[in-house]
Structure 1
């Protein structure tokens, strides 16, 4: 078996976003690969015969071809493609070349195909009177609002996210929303005449984080407001008969730590919470470093409109659940893995599925036995050629009923009787969930001779509302204790761990925790902090989410400097004795690079052992969707630092 390396990324495929044909005999999937030569990503559509597993490639032009949707006739499909630059919707029927349907200057963000297949609704950024001259001079950006930038979008201008529609037969295009408010596309109605969307229309949106849902008639442009109270809306669906609307939403009872709920809206009746008795995250919240184009957080009505299907994240696994409109609920799959996408025909479910040893493949679900039958083998060569480490579940139970859960990975070429260094990995969020999913960084470290411990401390999703809320206002307190306690337990109960060679790394919140830990303990021999937070006072004003995230998470406003400083790792920089590597993206607006700059200068000023690596053209998503060459260099930097200090 070969040793896995950072470059092995280029030999892996992720299979995601399955959509089943109207007759239930075929499914289209998205297969994504990293292109080493072009230093980008290639995503192509394949159609699979569900019975035989035979697969045929549908797209061939370079680029990303994603988000497929079958025409109801089954004789064609629509999809998003950047083959001509920006993402546009294309229609493919028969043997002719795909037809470009949209022509939006800034590309299409998302789209839905109407149930009758006659039109699409889509979302795109729009700006009035935009000049297109190639020699246009740069203009200063005038800012009047606090929400003027985001890590995904960059600096905002006057563009607004509109919803448009196009008749596929006539190519007639029209805008359904025209106000100066961003609109989030959710679903088409069963009669193909109405579009469900969400929009925040408050005057001052700097302190507004909720929206209302609306149903708009495509022909008359008449709107009906669905929600009585504003809420955070992350998904939505309309029943086939149009009488019921389901929203994946919440009312910020615990700010951004609030579990989403499936809420029903029916004319003349009170709202119904279908998930009132489910203390779990509705949707896919699993953390990984490889999956692309999943399209997983969606609600789907059953064909008879009496049930809803969605993914649910719990205790490191992501499975399909069924919520009946009568209040019953049922878990339809029972896998210790990560189902990242699904579709169905009648009772036949097709899923894309990742496990700790498998990047992602397509499976058919046995509805009766809740087992999976594999349909694709895009990663067969990887599975046959490379040795990977299979995690063992670890759990620390305390006398007071509290607990910490995680997974321990042995070095890939482990030999009984030898001792090995161990690296503790801390996820971001903090409201996320390490899961039974493929993590290339972890496998690389085990291939290089390290054990890896990754856990879900308090603040993580997957263990209920109280658990995820427990970190707010206590950063560096109970969460840090959770990590140290489970590390102590693993060291105590595992004879192959060399306690003198412990490493630590994490990104975002995990970077904060890395910074915090090295200022409060000297037990780690080396650490790597990534896209981190070091100073909550400056973070308040420079992050795209700072001014409200700090209030939600640290529970301190800007005039509460003592509290912000108390939770800032840079306060404790004089106590740092651990060699610390600092990794940060130049274009990170979530945790801006000034956070890394402050930490590096403070450490160097005191003569501490540190190094700072800046990644150009990289935002907060470097480790997951950044330029492939930079992702490889990041992994090599992490391994190189640990190799220097732990071997």
Structure 2
């Protein structure tokens, strides 16, 4: 569950609060403008792909708001622009995918297309012969949303996820469609697996028309696919998705391999992701666990026969969280996992239905990925070389590539090398609470003076099944820039987070806002013993689940003196009937709100609202499907009635994730202003 601008309504000034829709006339401290300007200089890396022979590297880098492709040797040398884009920002080219021959490169491009209903130009599939002509060949003429492009192992076919006639991005994070017509019946869009011959021709949709597909993978024989799917609508039903296998042909019958809703054992009622065929095609491994967002993957690694049967937990009891993996041989896996707020690449041996960690190859205090999935890596076919992009609190995004060994591979690009952090140093903080090992990241104020006392802003991540990992911030809502203005920033990974094992992830089931708040407050106590934090100048913020915590915590403690709540949840009971993803709640609350309203009431801030004294800024997207705007209105309305200083800002046409750059800038600017007003860096 896990982000301005034309003014649509005038700013309404009230006695103790205000509501606005994207008012652009925000008063700005010049230092805030400088922070936002610096963050806007970052060029994001969207995709990284290493050729199967390990000799060439392609990446996609954002240029003036549009991604474009670069091709280079594996060490980053001899880089050149490829594709159809004739000038930066003219169009977008994404999702580069190498054929097994390490020569042909497929990708998506909208450089030669017309407008579509998704909000931009139509993306189509192209193939470039990297050893031949510089002119890519166009293979498709699609009409809809397309992503997750993949070659079959024999190199004869391309498969991809496709929403024919799409009007929006296929993501619960995107702005929801206007709720008009017969709800739940009209206008439902279904994402399916489609295939296209590498020689070109007509695309064929191969999975059933009534089944929404989230992820898929090719079998080693190039004849079958495994995929995770659920009945439409897709935004809502990922939490009840099943694992299927079928021939990669239109109209083929499919086999249900795993249904978490009916299996017995630890997977019952949980979520599944990342299906991966064993090298001999006899079994499928996947990640299963308690997950709050499709795409935010974490859990244990399970295995099941490709014919179906009882899934087996291969990694039961481990104290880390696998987020991505690949079979490196019939007897081994390479696993990218979260361990106490850091990322590890580990090698696991596979014997029967058990996977045992043999060694950690390297640990990174940063965020890594190749753009295809959370923490995904791009390997050569012999698994001797790896590539990914990485950012951290110390270094802006760069492409890294090199041999798989005991050290993380170095950066092979200098795309953002001129950028230096304007915030202070960061360090990991670990503590114990209620018998749990807990971790968080503490960022010092810029120009830190140990003889001064500083305010501190506590930030709680979304999810709750996720983890705070070091990263270079972008323009948009993030807590790191507060450090630049003179605050300590403390980003916590309380129970419910990835990084300490599946039991830790499940430790806040039916307990939202209680154990995780105790973990966070214990972390604040630990930090205050380390550094000169002024306990009377503590702030709290977060987005999504962090937005809920920012609303709920002030009902339980008066310790925080200012709050910024992004896309929060004030009332779990009313939320159940308002959001478009209600299926996610049952694994966490144990039952629907109609069967057990008390467990929802227990964690609803609105039921304890008279305890709130803390000035609170509330921000939300107008068309947020995950944390609908009425939740923010409900909380704001209550604070206003109680005389608590508050302001509500609603951003037009935005969903749970903000895509408009002006809105991304505005929301961070408002938060910085709010904390400067109620939590001044200088006491």
Distance 1:277 1:547 in 2: 27
Secondary structure at 1:538's aligned position in 2?
helix
Query: 1:318 touches 1:340 (CA, 8 Å); kept in 2?
Result: no
Deviation at 1:631, TM superposition (A): 0.8
Deviation at 1:643, TM superposition (A): 0.9
Give a deviation string over 1:122-169, Cα, whole Å, max 9, x none: 2212479xxxxxxxxx99532357xxxxxxxxxx72433222211122
Residues 140, 567 of structure 1: alpha-carbon distance in 2 compared, 3 angstrom cutoff: closer
Residues 113, 587 of structure 1: alpha-carbon distance in 2 compared, 3 angstrom cutoff: same
Give a deviation string over 1:246-301, Cα, whole Å, max 9, x none: 33345999x99982424253669975543335343221xxxxxxxxxxxxx4x433
Deviation at 1:387, TM superposition (A): 3.2
Q: State whether structure 2 residue 68 is matched by structure 1 residue 55.
A: no
Distance 2:208 2:404 in 1: 45
Deviation at 1:548, TM superposition (A): 5.1
Residues 548, 408 of structure 1: alpha-carbon distance in 2 compared, 3 angstrom cutoff: closer
Give the aligned partner of residue 460 of structure 1.
497
Give the aligned partner of residue 445 of structure 1.
482
Q: Which runs of 5+ in 2 are unaligned?
A: 1-30, 114-120, 167-177, 262-266, 371-376
Give the aligned partner of residue 424 of structure 2.
389
Q: State whether structure 2 residue 400 is matched by structure 1 residue 363.
A: yes
5 Å-filtered alignment, 1:524-543, equals: 524-543=560-579
Distance 1:521 1:217 in 2: 56
Deviation at 1:332, TM superposition (A): 2.6
**1:234 aligns with one of 248, 273, 276:** 273
Distance 1:219 1:556 in 2: 37
Residues 520, 98 of structure 1: alpha-carbon distance in 2 compared, 3 angstrom cutoff: same
Give the aligned partner of residue 67 of structure 2.
43
Residues 223, 544 of structure 1: alpha-carbon distance in 2 compared, 3 angstrom cutoff: closer
Give the aligned partner of residue 417 of structure 1.
451
Give the aligned partner of residue 408 of structure 1.
442
Give a deviation string over 1:415-445, Cα, whole Å, max 9, x none: 2312221111111111111113233533311
Distance 2:435 2:179 in 1: 59
Higher relative contact order (CA 8 A, sep 6+): 2
Give the aligned partner of residue 316 of structure 1.
341
Give the aligned partner of residue 291 of structure 1.
none
Give a deviation string over 1:471-527, Cα, whole Å, max 9, x none: 1111222222222222123224422x2222221111111111111122232232211
Deviation at 1:412, TM superposition (A): 1.3
Q: State whether structure 2 residue 364 is matched by structure 1 residue 335.
A: yes
Give a deviation string over 1:211-254, Cα, whole Å, max 9, x none: 1321314389464554487674311233454344333345999x
Across the two proteins, how many residue pairs are aligned to each other? Answer: 598
Q: State whether structure 2 residue 109 is matched by structure 1 residue 81.
A: yes
Deviation at 1:366, TM superposition (A): 4.4
Query: 1:319 touches 1:338 (CA, 8 Å); kept in 2?
Result: no
Residues 14, 252 of structure 1: alpha-carbon distance in 2 compared, 3 angstrom cutoff: closer
Deviation at 1:49, TM superposition (A): 1.5
Distance 1:52 1:144 in 2: 49
Deviation at 1:328, TM superposition (A): 4.0
Query: 1:541 touches 1:547 (CA, 8 Å); kept in 2?
Result: no
Secondary structure at 1:380's aligned position in 2?
coil
Q: State whether structure 2 residue 232 is matched by structure 1 residue 196.
A: no
Secondary structure at 2:413's aligned position in 1?
coil
Query: 1:264 touches 1:274 (CA, 8 Å); kept in 2?
Result: no
Secondary structure at 2:620's aligned position in 1?
strand
Secondary structure at 2:194's aligned position in 1?
strand
| Normalised TM-score (structure 2) | 0.80
Q: Which runs of 5+ in 1 are unaligned?
A: 36-40, 129-137, 146-155, 284-296
**1:114 aligns with one of 152, 159, 175:** 152
Give a deviation string over 1:574-624, Cα, whole Å, max 9, x none: 2222111111111111110000111111111222211111111211112xx
Give the aligned partner of residue 218 of structure 1.
249
Q: State whether structure 2 residue 202 is matched by structure 1 residue 168.
A: no
Secondary structure at 1:5's aligned position in 2?
helix
| Normalised TM-score (structure 1) | 0.84
Residues 109, 70 of structure 1: alpha-carbon distance in 2 compared, 3 angstrom cutoff: closer
5 Å-filtered alignment, 1:225-374, equals: 225-227=256-258, 232-249=271-288, 259-265=299-305, 273-276=313-316, 278-283=318-323, 297=324, 299-302=325-328, 304-326=329-351, 327-330=355-358, 331-341=360-370, 342-345=377-380, 346=382, 347-374=384-411
Residues 220, 581 of structure 1: alpha-carbon distance in 2 compared, 3 angstrom cutoff: closer
Residues 436, 181 of structure 1: alpha-carbon distance in 2 compared, 3 angstrom cutoff: same
Deviation at 1:402, TM superposition (A): 3.1
Root mean square deviation, CA, Å: 3.3
Give the aligned partner of residue 183 of structure 2.
143
Deviation at 1:468, TM superposition (A): 1.4
Distance 1:529 1:610 in 2: 11
Residues 430, 241 of structure 1: alpha-carbon distance in 2 compared, 3 angstrom cutoff: closer
Give the aligned partner of residue 638 of structure 1.
671
Distance 1:251 1:536 in 2: 19
Give the aligned partner of residue 133 of structure 1.
none
